[in-house]
Amino acid sequence: MTQVVTRFAPSPTGHLHIGGARTAIFCWLLARHFNGRFHLRIEDTDLLRSKQEYTDSILASMRWLGLDWDGELTYQTQRTGIYNAYVDKLLENGHAYWCSCTPETVEAMREEARAKGLKPRYNGCCRNRDLGPGEGHCVRLKAPLSGKVVFDDLVKGKIAVDVGELDDMVIRRADGMPTYNMAVVVDDHDMGITHVIRGDDHVSNTPRQILIYEALGLSVPRFGHVPMILGPDRQKLSKRHGARAVIEYQQDGLLPQALVNYLVRLGWSHGNQELFTPEELVEYFDGTNLNPAAAAFDPTKLEWCNAHFMREMPLAELAALTAPFVEQAGLGNLPQERLEPLCAMFRERANNLKALAESFRPLLVPAAELEYAEKDAAKHLAEAGKAHLTALAAVFAACAPFTAENLEAALNAYVADNGLKFKEVAPPLRTALMGFMGGSHLNEIMAFLGRDETLARLEKAAG
Ligand code: GLU
């Protein structure tokens, strides 16, 4: 079997969004599954809307997602000469011709067709005029006059289009620039692409591109058109649905492996399995089981997926990834040995790194600055609660060393020795330590805070 070669071909007119990211992931996985190659091509021919900053941002998102590409990055704007050499070939072999019709003339032809209730199209008036190059002349493909273009789409199955639907498309504009369809065919051929996977907004371009392949006598790659991602209301996905650029998910503290896992499942399945290690995705993704129906984006499921990876990853790795978010939250530059216990205590309770960092806040401000949730303070820091806190301060002060194990034993002994119930003592203690009825195991919280800070909190709450 020939080597599988795929590509992702973003236009740098914006940041990488989740739809594009999913396409890129599919292309990357297919190449990696078959030990093939994955190329990245920047389709920057729209000079007005393309920006280097978007190319940089797309590349950064690709790297963050772990989608490494093979070989050099290609920019279409640097390849005009190559495209035009192929256009010349088509002119030479009679599969293309010069056309002097102005855009206004072509529009009038279309209008005429519309008025007759026909499909608006160029009427082929320059097809046999044997014109040469000249001011305002474009080049058109001489499409066959009858027959069908048929291809077997990896996602949608067999697609057949009557060539009568396709007019003689422009392949080189009057300004000398190749059109999108021409450039894509030349690039895909030149890069040896065997599988073109892209959004189904391009499905109508595919028969046109196949006509160009055929006119050039080139072999046609496999195509796969993945349906759009819809919002939960099954409308076109937009910001209102919580859909954002990949870079925004990164800034929000999502893990790349979670976003990859979630996006792959939006359009592909492997039995009922929802969660995959990156290795499993490469192992299972072979270009089959792609869903032809559009999937709906579900931000809650994405967070659930992220929470899973946060719980599963090695603690040291989670701590290192959380560090920048802690700093960003204004909580300081904590060393790894302080971050690890915090992550261990709170990782079960947060869905993303940003929320995880934020959950550390009550433990990182000094006792004097700890704020109490009004409701919890009113309920748990009343007279009885305060009396327990004063007594507990003495109990914990005697704990040496001040470890989670000793603190747990001391707390249990205090409850047992005084004939109390745990639920009489724990809420005031929790409110005193955290400021609200949340957090993690009390003994671990105290061990993290240390003796001075723990006692200061108990005194403050009891005072
Ligand atoms: N540059 C096109 C886009 O961003 C992709 C074209 C293709 O994959 O063939 O939509």
Pairing of strands 138-141, 96-99: antiparallel
Is there an atom of ligand 1 within 6 Å of 188 CB?
no
Give the tens place of pLDDT for each residue, 335-387. Answer: 999 999 999 999 999 999 999 999 999 999 999 999 999 999 999 999 999 99
The yes-or-no verdict on residue 1 having pLDDT over 70 is no
The yes-or-no verdict on residue 196 having pLDDT over 80 is yes
Active site residue 239: yes
**Rounded Cα distance, 138 and 365, in Å:** 69
Report residue 35's pLDDT band, with 50, 70 and 90 as the boundaries: very high
15 CA distance to ligand 1 middle (Å): 14
239 is in an annotated binding site: yes
258 CA distance to ligand 1 middle (Å): 25
Ligand 1 atom index nearest CA of 198 = 8
Report residue 417's pLDDT band, with 50, 70 and 90 as the boundaries: very high
Please compute the mean of the pLDDT values over residues 401-417 and round it to a whole number.
Answer: 98
Q: Which of the residue ranges 220-224, 231-235, 295-299, 363-367 would you say has the lowest mean pLDDT?
A: 231-235
Q: Which tokens belong to 422? A: 């745990």
Identify the active-site residue in 51, 148, 236, 239. 239
Question: Ligand 1: which residue has its CA nearest to atom 6?
Answer: 9
Q: Are 39 and 5 in contact (CB under 8 A)?
A: yes
The yes-or-no verdict on residue 243 having pLDDT over 80 is no
Is there an atom of ligand 1 within 6 Å of 202 CB?
yes
Q: What is the DSSP string of 279-298?
A: HHHHHH-SS-SB-SSPEEP-
Question: Ligand 1: which residue has its CA nearest to atom 5?
Answer: 9
Please compute the mean of the pLDDT values over residues 225-244 and round it to a whole number.
Answer: 86
Is there an atom of ligand 1 within 6 Å of 10 CB?
yes
Mutate to test the pocket of ligand 1, among 184, 189, 222 (most ligand atoms within 8 A of CB): 184
The yes-or-no verdict on residue 236 having pLDDT over 90 is no
Is there an atom of ligand 1 within 6 Å of 11 CB?
yes
Cross-strand partners of 74: 41
Q: Rounded to 5 degrees, what are φ and ψ at 383?
A: -55, -50
197 CA distance to ligand 1 middle (Å): 9
261 CA distance to ligand 1 middle (Å): 23
58 CA distance to ligand 1 middle (Å): 14
Please compute the mean of the pLDDT values over residues 184-193 and round it to a whole number.
Answer: 98
pLDDT at 119: 85
The candidate with the shortest Cα–Cα distance to 296, out of 14, 15, 18, is: 18
Is there an atom of ligand 1 within 6 Å of 198 CB?
yes
Mutate to test the pocket of ligand 1, among 76, 77, 153, 202 (most ligand atoms within 8 A of CB): 202
**Rounded Cα distance, 18 and 22, in Å:** 6
Ligand 1 atom index nearest CA of 8 = 8
Mutate to test the pocket of ligand 1, among 40, 43, 155 (most ligand atoms within 8 A of CB): 43
The candidate with the shortest Cα–Cα distance to 181, out of 268, 95, 87, is: 87
